A and B are shown apart, each in its own frame.
Chain A
Amino acid sequence: MSHATSSLALYIALALAPSAALAQESHAHHPHVGHAGAESTSNPRPAKAPHAGHDAHAAHDMHDSHAGHAAENAHDQHAASSAHDGHAGHEPHDAHAARNSHAGHAGHAGHAGHDMPAPAGAAATDPHARHATAPGAPVEPIPVPTDADRAAAFPPLAHAHVHGGGIHSLVRFNRFEAWDADPGRGQAWEGKAWIGGDVHRLWLRSEGEREHGHTASADLEVLYGRGISAWWDLLAGVRHDFKAGPSQSWAAIGVQGMAPYKFELSATAYLGERGHSALRAEVEYELPLTSRLVLQPMVEVELHGRNDARRGTGSGLSTAEAGLRLRYELDRRFAPYVGLVHEHSFGNTADYRRSEGEPVSDTRWVVGVRWWF
């Protein structure tokens, strides 16, 4: 019993975690809203707007704070004026060479012996050098575009750039297992699937159990999920329970995502017919023992708003399940596992079970396979 109560404390702590983490994240992001100096992406001319007014000063800001660069500036002027004087292309480039060696290449001195000719010829082929003109103009002048250049620059296009983004999907059975224990054989599954983009996704989630060859419980959720922050998706949709008892439908809203320390977490609230309500929360963790052997603890808890004798669920905390599964990844996609699962029922749910002659809690070994595609 005592480990069940300590588990309970953990459930509550974890159920509260998503909202805390969300708050933390939004706090982390907000301080940067409105900072200049970054590209304003909503602006159709994004690169320009945030820096308006800086243009004229950018160059000065940089060099004024660097007394040591004065010499370099001098070289700049020298280069420009040489070119202006109408010297052949070699002059300005010699100036460049001088400027470069000025820039502090002591480290290269040792390589002088590599019988490599002087670099003077390297850039001497610049056909535009003799055209350099006004101070502040580029050493290598910007060519004046012709109509042919303009036509070549912006050809009419029939198609936009095709991209690899688009629609993706994943189907993953995290639990797909069987057991043979008192009171009998059984199987269980828990899987989820998504299809969509990076932010908007359609989610399917399902879990259920079979005992003695009969389906004891089975549900399917169809949810729209939207990324609301780096680590959290908001989900809304419907859940349908095929079992236990008469089938029923719920409206569902919840969050799922990854909490700090890489806890995978989901919490969903349900509103059903005739005023029924429920809450389901689950947390999983993955602990690699080796690169292929992974220990996966998980805890799932269900709460209900009111008693439902036909389905054997009582108000308040109904059931909690803790599992520890050790899987071996034969392949990333296919990993057999063994696990130990403990399930416990509480309050009125426990009373219903007692009246049915079922045990209030159950511990069993399971074998299964985790797979995805």
Chain B
Amino acid sequence: MTRPLRPSLPSVPEPVSPGRRRFVQGMAFAGLAGSGLLRLPAHAANAAAPVELRGTAFDLAIGASPVNITGRARQAITVNGSLPAPVLRWREGDTVSVRVANHLAGVPTSVHWHGILLPANMDGVPGMSFDGIAPGESWLYRFTLKQSGTYWYHSHSLFQEQAGLYGAIIVDPLQPPPYHYDREHVLLLSDWTDLEPAALFRRLKKAPSFDNHYKRTAGDFLRDVREDGWRATLADRGMWGRMRMTPSDLSDVNGHTYTYLLNGLPPAGNWTGLFRPGERVLLRLINAGAMTYFDVRIPGLRMTVVAADGQYVHPLTVDELRIGAAETYDVIVEPAGQDAYTIFAQDMGRTGFARGTLAVQPGLAAPVPVPDPRPLLTMQDMAHGDHGSHGPGKGMEGGCGAMMAEGGCGAAMHGAHAGHGVAKPVAHPPSEAGNPLVDMQSSPTGPRLDDPGVGLRGNGRRVLTYADLRSLSGDPDGRDPGREVELHLTGHMEKFAWSFNGIPFASAEPLRLNYGERLRVVLVNDTMMHHPIHLHGLWSDLEDADGAFQVRKHTIDMPPGTRRSYRVRADALGRWAYHCHLLYHMEAGMMREVRVEERA
């Protein structure tokens, strides 16, 4: 039953120099290089699983550790000398105390418990929850766990998350979960760069498309003319040209800068999780990437999704799922019939992948798939393609683009959704008008929850979509929203400027919520990028296309060309960070403070 094993790795589908290959694949022995901390080689890989700490009292030491992921010695920021940080295993109902000591030289640090409900002063956002942890000092976090599931933690200080400060949290439920499993593994995905993260941010500000090596060339033009004709090709190029945008801009930072990691190991390190044939294995998928969406599959296995962002969902079996930055999914697989299965997590732009193996013993490997063809954004992604009556020649400055409110395609779309709570013609906030930080306005009319997304459509595999996610518990609040707040996700690709409503964090007023209220947040993506939007301290209860409660999440993926809504129950007082979880988008301004106050 064992498949022939192939120890060699495939190349990404482009000529790859030996240097680039090592950079993409990483080192087989990558990991912490400090004495006594040397990571075990791949043939003993399950011993390389992140350390798990359990109990109610924890001591975490944040410091710099030497690592070697790509063949070059670098410094990472680690917790207890480990990258990723130790898995913290908590239990629902327990009050946990976590003392976090800062051993970094000269810089403050912080730890944020992503998705965990807690008092605002325990949330770990410097300047909102507390003043951060100064060098040489420590901070005692203490809170009671009101939930269970798979979560994660990371630094919320500048770019420390990119440098390695992230780890998994598992909160065991008091009641048994509504599914059975025999064994579990944490699969924590992340992106590593040998660049100093602040230098990467500076580079993004100078040259935002640095990593886009796939701009359409003269050769692509001739091929498109051959295949689609002059008229369609010119119309297509004209439309993108008028927008001054590039359809290959799928992500700002990709495999040309990053080496993708699974549990801290690059592809060549082949992290391995063990199973016995016939076991049901729970995989806790966490995307701790700073700027990366991963498309995850395990060829030969179907994955039954049982939880999203730590919350149980009606089980659904898929071949593949896209996990946005900061999201978590729990899936159950039943490996049997093969001794080894490849866990394959390619980045959304198909420029690289993280990879590991599920195997009956250490040292095995299964074939590694070749990444899918690189996708291009379509006018549908830009919220232009939904409008059948308009040819592809209509661009941002005419037709459906910014002119929705004047009728035309807007009115037509509205008619199709008449009566829905959320489908309305798009009206843009006045702060976007003439704003030098807003390079496009979109006209998305719906949430497109059932869209697998760019690069996953029609790939022959059953791909999870948001439409598939339904909370097992139903709506825990039950009230309809008392009011609605609409925010537009805005940006400028050439300036690498990001914001809500065209107003970057530095100039934005807090968004004020009344304690106890239930409100609807409507997000409209006015950019051509995905944004995983994370609200601290409060759940984001995603609504379906009809405005009804669908699934409880802490991070809502906003693909380009979508308008999505969710309900927020303001049941936690305090100042909460609200931001895009692409690290550099947040730092570039796509962030707000949400302030929950008691009504005077």
Residue positions of A touching B, CB distance < 8 A: 24-26, 28-48, 51, 54-55, 58-59, 61-63, 65-66, 69, 72, 76, 79-80, 93, 96-97, 99-100, 103, 105, 107-108, 111, 114-119, 121-126, 136-140, 142-143, 145, 149-150, 152-155, 157-165, 168-170, 198-199, 227-231, 233, 258, 260-262, 287-291, 295, 332, 372
Contacts and interface: CB of A to CB of B under 8 A. Distances in A.
17 contacts: A30-B434, A41-B501, A41-B508, A44-B509, A51-B484, A80-B478, A96-B474, A121-B178, A142-B515, A143-B571, A145-B573, A153-B120, A162-B157, A163-B587, A229-B435, A287-B218, A291-B217
The 6 closest A-B pairs by CB, nearest first: A164-B587, A227-B436, A161-B127, A65-B419, A96-B474, A153-B573
A155 B506 contact: no
B382 interface: no
Interface of B: 92, 119-122, 125-132, 157-159, 173-180, 198, 201-202, 205-207, 210, 213-219, 238, 241-242, 244, 304, 306, 312, 314-317, 396-397, 401-403, 405-406, 418-421, 424, 427-441, 468, 470-488, 492, 494-495, 497, 500-501, 503-506, 508-509, 511-513, 515-516, 518-520, 546-548, 569, 571-575, 577, 584, 586-589, 591, 593, 596, 598
Contact of B174 (A36, A96, A125, A158): A125
Contact of A231 (B213, B244, B505): B244
Contacts of B495: 198, 227
Nearest to A161: B127
B8 to A, nearest CB: 26
Among A33, A40, A44, A72, residue most surrounded by chain B Cβ atoms (within 10 Å): A33
B126 A159 contact: yes
B244 A138 contact: no
A169 B497 CA distance: 14
Given A105-B470, A108-B316, A119-B472, A153 B574 contact: yes
B484 A54 contact: yes
Contacts of A69: 546, 548
Given A47-B485, A230-B437, 13 more contacts: A32-B430, A34-B430, A35-B429, A38-B429, A54-B483, A65-B418, A108-B315, A114-B179, A114-B315, A139-B476, A163-B591, A165-B588, A230-B492
Contact of A372 (B159, B206, B427, B571): B206
A55 B483 contact: yes
A154 B217 contact: no
B512 to A, nearest CB: 5
Contacts, number: 335
A139 B475 contact: yes
B505 A165 contact: yes
Given A158-B131, A260-B241, A145 B515 contact: yes
Contacts of A54: 483-484
A125 B574 contact: no
B433 A30 contact: yes
Given A33-B433, A40-B429, A138-B478, A100 B215 contact: no
Contact of B179 (A62, A116, A143): A116
Contact of B244 (A44, A93, A153, A260): A260
A152 B120 CA distance: 6
A136 B477 CA distance: 10
Contacts of A66: 419-420, 546
Nearest to A142: B516
A261 B234 CA distance: 12
A154 B595 CA distance: 10
A140 B130 contact: no
Contacts of A164: 158-159, 198, 201, 584, 586-588
Contact of A139 (B428, B477, B519): B477
A230 B436 contact: yes
Given A161-B128, A260-B397, A261-B241, A79 B478 contact: yes
B436 to A, nearest CB: 3
B492 to A, nearest CB: 7
A200 to B, nearest CB: 10
A54 B484 CA distance: 9
Nearest to B210: A332
Nearest to B419: A65
Contacts of B593: 161
A140 B121 contact: no
A153 B121 contact: yes
Contact of A155 (B121, B403, B474, B483): B121
A48 B483 contact: yes
Nearest to B439: A230
A58 B482 contact: yes
B216 to A, nearest CB: 7
Given A47-B485, A155-B121, A38 B217 contact: no
A109 B210 CA distance: 47
A283 B34 CA distance: 54
Nearest to B306: A116
A137 B593 CA distance: 27
Contact of A289 (B157, B158, B218, B494): B218
Contacts of B584: 164
B421 A227 contact: no
A288 B218 contact: yes
B198 to A, nearest CB: 8
